Structure 1
Amino acid sequence: MRPDASDTRSPPDRIARIDCFPVRPRWLFVRVESAQGAVGWGEATLEGHVESVCGAIDAARDRLIGHDPDRIEDAWQLLYRLGFYRGGPVLMSAIAGIDQALWDMKARKLGVPVYQLLGGRVRDRIAVYAWIGGDRPHDVAAAAAARKVQGFTAVKMNGVEETGWLESTAHIDGVVERLGLVRDTGIDVGLDFHGRVHKPMARAILGAIEPLRPLFAEEVLLGEHPAAIEQIARHTSVPIAMGERLYSRWDFRPFFESAAIDIAQPDLSHAGGISECRRIAAMAEAYDVAFAPHCPIGPLALAACLHVAAATPNFVIQEMSLGIHYNGPAEDLTTLMTNPEMFAVTGGTVAVPEAPGLGVEIDEAAVREMARDPHRWRNPAWRGPDGGLREW
């Protein structure tokens, strides 16, 4: 058919720029701008690997410059499928940051919050938890009490420091003691084992903490051991949570099919962004698995999580990094945004964001200035008493 000469519709907008900004303490922000001047922000933070993700974003420019920014799913498929090699933390983090930015841009152009484009909200407020006890947990009771004053009703803490393949009874007793001190404050607590525990210790630790009824046990074992995770899940009543090192619905599928986990924790900055984590949540729901996104990082990642949480029936609770041990007083969750009130905590919850897009107003000048001196954050290298490497 010949085009109608009376058709005055403007041609579709096109992606003109994709920029990334490594900002402290260990984040990577992504800014996408269209030819018509629309802007969206996302977060592609992959802790300790910022240089690699920036390289993947540079490659993504070859695919997406000139692409219609409203075609978010098509952009996702382009980046995921047309590079021949698929998945993994670097590629999926790059996709995640761009995906979040495209959702932010589209929702801002329409003047609605992102969750409205995901089917609308299914809840009025979003349950959250904060961190206590970092890599060297010690005075956790006082930290838990301080979080209660801030309005939190749940916290998460590292369960162990460096842990060998086989440890003493005293090592296990220390886990139980710290958990008990926090429970005595009247606050709920999840334990993050960070993949530091190996199979010979996993059942013993879970059995020891079971009477104290933690909210969940996270990454008791690394995801590269699905059969062992399935095995320990059969021997404990503690809900098993994991997912920060799984990057797609295909990575999660064997854990759902084997009933190995109770709570799926994809990170929206590692696992393909809003688009892919919505699919992971829907797949989890089909297996009666809860959804609790991982997010110990920056404000754009957290905002993306809140929008998915608002529209996801099987969502249970959201991690947030306010005052986390990786941050400093000059580099906390809200440092690079001008509307920190959107993350205000009341009664253990935050409000569903109602501003257009992701709702985060980025201080762009501050971001650009900080990114002039890019961080090179690396996690510690731990060794045991014998000099052998330990999981961090």
Structure 2
Amino acid sequence: MKITDIETFAVAPRWLFCRIATDEGIVGWGEPIVEGRAETVRAAVHELADYLIGQDPLRIEDHWQVLSKGGFYRGGPVLSSALAGLDQALWDIAGQAYDAPVHALLGGPVRDRVRMYTWIGGDEPAEIGEAVAEKISQGFTAVKMNGCAVMSRLATVRETDAMLARLQAAREALGPDRDVAVDFHGRVSTANARRVLPLLEPFHPLFIEEPVLPEHAGKLAAIVAASSTPIAMGERCYHRSEFAGPLQAGVSVVQPDISHAGGISEVRRVAALAEIYDAVLAPHCPLGPIALAASLQVAFATPNFLIQEQSLGIHYNVGNDLLDYLIDPSVFQFFDGYVQRPMAPGLGIQVDEAAVRRADETGHQWRSPVWRHSDGSFAEW
């Protein structure tokens, strides 16, 4: 079997898909994307495709080594995300070639269902309570919320109180048997994190995500020591080597993104590294259906897996959502907050190619918003 063609498709709301075709008629799909940089990643995918055309798609590990190291300059979000999508598509082909789901090729399932969480929005406590109640009615047992919007470099009392009020509203709506994770998106400084994180402990967050920016990972040991709540990070890390320092600092939850961190091949290695440190895997995935399908294949084969993010109904997905690009959307049906193990070959989904090609005719130009502090200076989004 040989690879004959590699195509890319920019599809709303902010995704990029790739399609690898073979001379035996087997087609694999992947999702290589850096949100807000779709065209840049698209160009990188086609540069890497030059090597893959004519190759045996089943030599996945050899291709990963060549594509990640063969250009001399390595890593970074663009190259790692381009590689990630191609890697997903190669695993999809392999599963179909061997008539097995990818998790079977990764050593077989270690669980029968995977717990999912969903996002909630809301600026005021009452809105948070309503959002949580809606997700509970949909069967979810875990939600994630932003810890804050723009926050001063050293938070005021009012900012801190508003953050606590929102989290308290979520905890009261969830009750004692459900979970809330808190995402700070790198919006707080190290000093701020050490001050506010202990205040969250009474609300028992499942984890606190990215309290500081990844470039301040050297401060994580102090942040871990400041709070008993598990600290999570990793959505902006692109190689297993970038997780070593945070794990040594005591991070409890690693969150590589399967569309950014080198695909299925690398994310499973990150999970194995985390297991050495008694840390768990909770893959980042506010993306499209292919990324979610690939994440779930890893989740079912990973012993130290915790919970899976997914983006159905998230505010980014206005106008188009995950299920719009699938022939059979029932594969992502959630029961009591869980998804059942997919049994179909490959990634376990059937991409609606006609819908993807129609969407690519329009494409998208999604960009991250730019936030500013009250004095007009740049603020982290």
Question: What is the TM-score with the length of structure 2 in the denominator?
Answer: 0.97
CA apart distance, 1:137 = 6.7
1:252 aligns with 243
- The percentage of counterpart residues that share the same residue type is 52
Aligned to 1:269: 259
Structure 2 SS opposite 1:341: helix
Deviations 1:88-107 (A, max 9, x none): 10000000000000000110
Listed as ranges, the matches of 1:24-35 within 5 Å are 24-35=12-23
Letter in 2 for 1:296: P
Deviations, residues 89-141 of structure 1 (Å, cap 9, x unaligned): 0000000000000000110122111100000000010011000017x576111
Once superposed, which parts of structure 1, at least 4 consecutive aligned residues long, lie more than 4 Å away?
none
State the distance in 2 between where 1:258 and 1:242 align: 12
**2:86 is equivalent to residue 98 of structure 1:** yes
Give secondary structure in 1 for the equivalent of 2:104: helix
SS at match of 1:377: coil
Trace 1:1-392 onto structure 2 (pairs within 5 A): 13-133=1-121, 139-185=127-173, 186=175, 187-259=178-250, 261-328=251-318, 330-392=319-381
Structure 1 residue runs without a partner (length 5+): 1-12
Cα contact 1:15–1:68 (8 A) shared by 2: yes
How many residues of Structure 1 are paired with residues of Structure 2 in the alignment?
377
Equivalent-residue separation in structure 2 for 1:323 and 1:305 (angstroms): 18
When residues 302 and 285 of structure 1 are mapped into structure 2, their CA distance, relative to the original with a 3 A threshold, is same
Cα offset, 1:76, TM superposition: 0.6
Please report how far the alpha carbon of residue 257 of structure 1 lies from its aligned counterpart in structure 2 after TM superposition: 2.3
1:230, 1:258 within 8 Å by CA — same for their partners in 2?
yes
Does the aligned pair in 2 maintain the 1:137–1:158 contact within 8 Å? no
Contact (CA 8 Å) 2:224, 2:249: kept in 1 or not? no
Specify the SS of the correspondent of 2:71. coil
- What is the CA–CA distance in structure 2 between the aligned matches of 1:137 and 1:150, rounded to whole Å? 22
Query: Is contact 1:281-1:314 (8 Å) kept?
Result: yes
What code does the residue aligned with 1:270 have? H
**Distance in 2 of aligned mates of 1:153 and 1:203:** 29
Q: 1:98 to 1:372 in 2, by over 3 A?
A: same
DSSP 3-state at the match of 1:302: helix
Instruction: Assess if the C-alpha contact under 8 Å between 2:116 and 2:308 holds in 1.
Output: yes
Kept in 2, the 8 Å contact 1:172–1:208? The answer is no
Cα distance in 2 for partners of 1:173, 1:229 equals 24
Deviation at 1:57, TM superposition (A): 0.5
Q: Give the structure with higher Rg (CA).
A: 1
AA of the residue aligned to 1:110: Y
Considering only aligned residues, what root-mean-square deviation do their CA atoms show, in Å?
A: 1.1
Gaps (5+ residues) in structure 2? none
Q: Which residue of 2 aligns with 1:4?
A: none
Structure 1 counterpart SS, 2:324? coil
* Distance of 1:107 and 1:120 partners within structure 2: 12
Per the TM alignment, residue 349 of structure 1 is displaced from its structure 2 partner at its CA by 0.7
For residue 59 of structure 1, what is the amino acid of its counterpart?
E
In the TM superposition, residue 46 of structure 1 has moved relative to its aligned partner by: 1.3
Structure number with higher helix proportion:
2
Instruction: Specify the SS of the correspondent of 2:362.
Output: coil
SS of equivalent to 1:338? coil
Cα separation, 1, equivalents of 2:368 and 2:205: 27
For the 8 Å contact 1:137–1:157, the answer to whether it is kept is no
**Aligned-residue offset at 1:179:** 0.7
Deviation of the 1:206 alpha carbon? 0.3
Q: Is the 8 A contact 1:129 1:318 kept in 2?
A: yes
2: CA distance, partners of 1:246 / 1:137: 32
Q: Residues 120 and 137 of structure 1: is their aligned pair in 2 closer, same or farther, counting only changes over 3 Å?
A: farther
